[in-house]
Chains A and B, each alone.
Chain A
Amino acid sequence: MSESTTFYAQAPASPEISERFPDLHPAFTATAAVTEANRCLYCFDAPCTGACPTHIDVPRFIKKIASGNLEGSAKTILDANILGASCARVCPVDVLCEGACVMHRYNEQPIAIARLQRFAMDALYESGGRLPFSPGADTGKSVALIGGGPASLACAAELRRRGIRAVIFDARPLPGGLNTYGVAEYKLPLAESLREIDLLAQLGVEFHFGAAVDGERLAELESRHDAVFLGVGLGAIPRLGIAGEQLAGVTNALDYIAGYKSGRITSAPERVAVIGAGNTAIDAANASLRLGARAVHVIYRRGPEQMSAFAFEYDHAKQEGVEFLWHVMAERVVGAERVEALELVRLEAASDGSLVLKEGENFRLPVDLVVLAIGQSTHADFFRGGRVKLERGRVVIDRETGQTSDPRYFAGGDCVNGGREVVDAVADGKRAGIGIAVWLEGHDANA
């Protein structure tokens, strides 16, 4: 990062994308925010706070909106969750804070916590965007953080607030990981993710971009730092292993989403098939429609009850016009030079629950683009030979401190939990940041 420019200023500007991906949940006006804030009952030991993985003191920040103390409101949010601005936009609040709101049992709408949180954070930006915290007094300690996504960012913030140097290494040209490159633009625009990281950079977090870390580099970093935080996320979306997959017109959801978010992809062909039915698949399907596709199908081997996407994401996709093909599997990508169709086969559940082919039920779906969204692989290779213990490809940690089986290594986020939400990564990173600080202090005390 150069001294003079911000990450925000480096966001690729694409008016076309902004126009096609307007805010799904528009910002509150000040009047609406105060009215909504006044509805909050101010629960004791509030269930919304308990449901939030970062335990934001929700009633407190809401009452500060009601009282007109917007500065204090933003500070309350950031104190618990340094990525409070993006969490306000990307969190699946239906199953988190808003899902836990007592108003559900009061025969009323839950408090619009996410929109209030965004209101408080927007107010902070509008008032000059100064982070209400300063770095702690320098301890002389230093931590390398691998990956620049939410887990590392949250960990880095905790470290800096405790006077520990935090150096982030990220393979991409801009920070934020999936928060910057992987969230549907109508929830969190790429530029907003960067604006938030600018805030965090005020704590003196150091960034190295285009800095892919391999085993050798890791060993070097280990020798130069007092601890290492692993926030590497998950790996690539695997291929299906079927014929025709190498054809032009076959991509994966992460590349596709990152492509349109950074302005490299500005349109979609007429017919798109998305394979997989998780939240990322939904994001890719909705994006295709917004980018101009006429027919978008989500193809999934099982039924809607088994899909990993949240119910509200499924509902949203249906509203956008996405069609779902259940109990269907892709057997072959058909085409001469480019994708022309998908050869599909119907499946049914056998008595033991396994899926079996329905003979003679093959059919072709003409498509111009195939987007794979069948989950991400793990980074098992990256950790091979190291002392960091894995389980099913995931890094094993002590949940409270983030410490791995190798005491100098801490970890959090998708590489630990197998792929959850931004707020889960932030919570992991926060616990690890505090865990590292405590461990470094204990280390000193014992030395």
Chain B
Amino acid sequence: MPTLETRFAGIRCMNPFWLASAPPTNCGEQIMRAFDAGWGGAVWKTIGAPITNTSSRYSSIDWNGQRMMGLNNIELISDRPIEVNLRELAEVKRRYPKHTVIASLMVESNREAWHEIVERAEDAGADGLELNFGCPHGMSERGMGSAVGQVPEYCGQITEWVKERARTPVIVKLTPNISDIRMPARAAKKAGADALSAINTINSITGIDLDTLEPRPNVDGKSSHGGYCGPAVKPIALNMVQQVMADESAALPMSGIGGIASWQDVAEFLLLGAGTVQVCTAVMHYGYRIVEDMADGLLAWMRRKGFETLDDFRGLSLPKVQDWKHLNLNYKIVARIHADKCIGCELCYTACWDGAHQCIHLDRALPSPDKTRTPEMVTAESLARISTTPIAKLDLKSADKAGASFTPLSRIPRVDEEECVGCNLCSLVCPVPECITMERVENGLEPETWEERMQSGAAVAGNPNH
């Protein structure tokens, strides 16, 4: 029976699921309900000198009818007094001693202020501290948040001040709004940080109201750049986590953040080396209850894979991310369309012609293969065809058959495997699972990377498969 229990920078965790420092961790009452729902830990909404927020604060990106592909916020750190937050933190720890409570902190950039807040948070019972060097809006204009995270020296300096006092593990939260996230990570590590968390939100403008021409979120006719998060940012977050974790002088225990909403997302962050994960947007969308399937699904996957603990698979995918120059140029795959599954939407066809390499053809019903027939010719033929409503008695049976139960041969595309470059695009656009598979073609060539080819002085361009 696999377990989700784990240790993170010395902190015992009942599971790797933490709530990120954000509105879902605003107060003790929320956090206790979250723990009841199954969350193993929570990073308290950033504690510091109380601020004043605007209204409104959030805006989002919807996509094809799905709400909140991405969420943007211009909310600042906690607007509650420090003593209220810390009193509630103590109460949560008293009632939930086995759960992990991390205090996220952000104060002015001076040593005394940091010493004081560290001491107060730890006295209240925090299991660890997270230094918010990531907040990209508002706070950064006051020299805090990402204004610190974007300058490795500041990052290192404050981490040092905190480490002077801290008795619990110190986690430095990194901003993605920087050209190389490894730089602040290295600075934090050098300054003695115990762990990292990444990523914070990404600078964004989500959109503009086309009636009023005012950007969102709208604050009395104006807006400000905000922090982007949610499913849309997951690939960016995964990349940054990988970059840090693959860098010896930066890698530390990592709490992965960015668009996590499902057990699959969790597994992916852990496979790239994260120790725990933090979730915000998915909870803001659907509530604390989502953690149940994160745990249930992850455990089921671990059972299928034969993993007993998170450590069994942590980081296993890290070595599989390499520089491009180390990829095998002689590896060849081609698309195979499984005619029995094809529904005849022809999305692969249009994608290949307009977006890829013109090697999918609609010629199965023709007497011989025809690579010269363009999409424009196909549509012109269809528009010229005269069709009439079938009459029940006469022709309905044949028409019905073609429509509902099987795909006409003429609508099932054919891949020219000689020309196919194995780009994946058709299999990505195909709406039917397993209808287009990418399959390896043996070409008898030994693996060869770009780097090897350059070293051997061979031709620099061209595909050896052709």
- Answer whether A and B are interacting partners: yes
Task: Mark A residues whose CB is within 8 Å of B.
Answer: 34-35, 38, 41-45, 47, 49-53, 55, 66, 91-92, 95-96, 99-106, 306-311, 399-400, 417, 420-421, 423-424, 427, 431
Q: Are B389 and A43 in contact (CB under 8 A)?
A: no
Across the interface, B390 reaches (CB within 8 A) one of A49, A95, A399, A427, namely: A95
Across the interface, B403 reaches (CB within 8 A) one of A35, A99, A417, namely: A99
Bound Cα distance A423, B402 (Å): 21
Please give me the 9 A-B residue pairs with the lowest Cβ-Cβ distance, nearest first: A38-B65, A44-B346, A44-B350, A105-B343, A102-B343, A104-B404, A99-B403, A43-B345, A421-B389
Closest beta carbon of chain A to B428's beta carbon, Å: 14
Instruction: Give B383-408 as 1s and 0s: 1 = Cβ < 8 Å from A's Cβ atoms.
Output: 10111111111001001101111110
Cβ < 8 Å to A, chain B residues 267-286: none
Q: Are A42 and B403 in contact (CB under 8 A)?
A: no
**Does any Cβ of A come within 8 Å of B378's Cβ?**
yes
Cβ < 8 Å to A, chain B residues 335-382: 343-347, 349-350, 362, 375, 378-379, 382
**Does any Cβ of A come within 8 Å of B454's Cβ?**
no
Across the interface, name the chain A residue whose C-beta is closest to B66: A38
Provide the residues of chain A in CB contact with B403, threshold 8 Å.
47, 51, 95, 99-101, 104
**Does any Cβ of A come within 8 Å of B431's Cβ?**
yes
Ordered by A's residue number, 16 sampled pairs between the chains whose C-beta atoms are within 8 Å are A38-B65, A43-B344, A45-B378, A51-B403, A53-B389, A95-B392, A101-B403, A102-B344, A102-B345, A104-B403, A105-B343, A105-B405, A399-B386, A420-B391, A424-B388, A424-B389
Across the interface, name the chain A residue whose C-beta is closest to B381: A45
Bound Cα distance A100, B389 (Å): 12
Closest beta carbon of chain B to A76's beta carbon, Å: 14
Provide the residues of chain B in CB contact with A421, threshold 8 Å.
389
Across the interface, name the chain B residue whose C-beta is closest to A311: B392
A309 and B387 in contact, given A66-B65, A106-B431 (Cβ under 8 angstroms): no
With A66-B65, A100-B402, A420-B391 known, 19 other A-B pairs at CB within 8 A are A38-B64, A44-B350, A44-B375, A45-B382, A49-B382, A51-B403, A55-B387, A95-B389, A95-B399, A96-B389, A99-B399, A100-B403, A102-B344, A106-B431, A306-B393, A308-B393, A309-B392, A427-B386, A431-B386
Closest beta carbon of chain B to A301's beta carbon, Å: 13
Bound Cα distance A399, B346 (Å): 29
**Does any Cβ of A come within 8 Å of B441's Cβ?**
no
A308 and B391 in contact, given A51-B403, A104-B404, A105-B406 (Cβ under 8 angstroms): yes
Across the interface, A41 reaches (CB within 8 A) one of B379, B388, B396, B431, namely: B431
Bound Cα distance A49, B382 (Å): 9
Provide the residues of chain B in CB contact with A38, threshold 8 Å.
64-65
Bound Cα distance A289, B351 (Å): 52
Interface centre among A55, A96, A105 (most CB of B within 10 A): A105
Provide the residues of chain A in CB contact with B393, threshold 8 Å.
306-308
Provide the residues of chain A in CB contact with B375, threshold 8 Å.
44-45
Task: Mark B residues whose CB is within 8 Å of A.
Answer: 64-65, 343-347, 349-350, 362, 375, 378-379, 382-383, 385-393, 396, 399-400, 402-407, 411, 431-432
Across the interface, name the chain A residue whose C-beta is closest to B378: A45
Bound Cα distance A421, B392 (Å): 12
Across the interface, name the chain A residue whose C-beta is closest to B410: A45
Closest beta carbon of chain A to B395's beta carbon, Å: 9
Interface centre among B389, B402, B405, B431 (most CB of A within 10 A): B389
Q: Are B407 and A45 in contact (CB under 8 A)?
A: no
A106 and B432 in contact, given A95-B390, A399-B386, A400-B386 (Cβ under 8 angstroms): yes
Across the interface, name the chain B residue whose C-beta is closest to A38: B65
Across the interface, name the chain B residue whose C-beta is closest to A279: B392
Provide the residues of chain B in CB contact with A66, threshold 8 Å.
64-65
Provide the residues of chain B in CB contact with A96, threshold 8 Å.
389
Across the interface, A95 reaches (CB within 8 A) one of B344, B386, B396, namely: B396
A105 and B344 in contact, given A99-B400, A400-B386 (Cβ under 8 angstroms): yes
Across the interface, B379 reaches (CB within 8 A) one of A42, A45, A105, A399, namely: A45
Provide the residues of chain A in CB contact with B404, threshold 8 Å.
99, 104-105
Bound Cα distance A311, B392 (Å): 8
Bound Cα distance A52, B383 (Å): 10
Closest beta carbon of chain A to B186's beta carbon, Å: 45
Q: Are A308 and B392 in contact (CB under 8 A)?
A: yes
Provide the residues of chain B in CB contact with A417, threshold 8 Å.
388
Bound Cα distance A194, B393 (Å): 32
Bound Cα distance A49, B380 (Å): 12
Bound Cα distance A220, B238 (Å): 80
Provide the residues of chain B in CB contact with A105, threshold 8 Å.
343-344, 404-407
Across the interface, B389 reaches (CB within 8 A) one of A41, A50, A400, A423, namely: A423
Bound Cα distance A100, B406 (Å): 10
Provide the residues of chain B in CB contact with A431, threshold 8 Å.
386
Bound Cα distance A105, B405 (Å): 6
Provide the residues of chain B in CB contact with A106, threshold 8 Å.
343, 431-432
Across the interface, name the chain B residue whose C-beta is closest to A417: B388
Closest beta carbon of chain A to B435's beta carbon, Å: 10
Bound Cα distance A92, B388 (Å): 12
Q: Are A92 and B344 in contact (CB under 8 A)?
A: no
Interface centre among A51, A399, A417, A431 (most CB of B within 10 A): A51
Provide the residues of chain A in CB contact with B391, threshold 8 Å.
308, 420
Q: Are B399 and A47 in contact (CB under 8 A)?
A: no
Q: Are B346 and A43 in contact (CB under 8 A)?
A: yes
Closest beta carbon of chain B to A338's beta carbon, Å: 34
Across the interface, name the chain B residue whose C-beta is closest to A34: B65
Provide the residues of chain A in CB contact with B346, threshold 8 Å.
43-45
Across the interface, name the chain B residue whose C-beta is closest to A95: B390
Closest beta carbon of chain A to B211's beta carbon, Å: 12
Bound Cα distance A431, B383 (Å): 12
Closest beta carbon of chain A to B386's beta carbon, Å: 6
Bound Cα distance A312, B406 (Å): 21
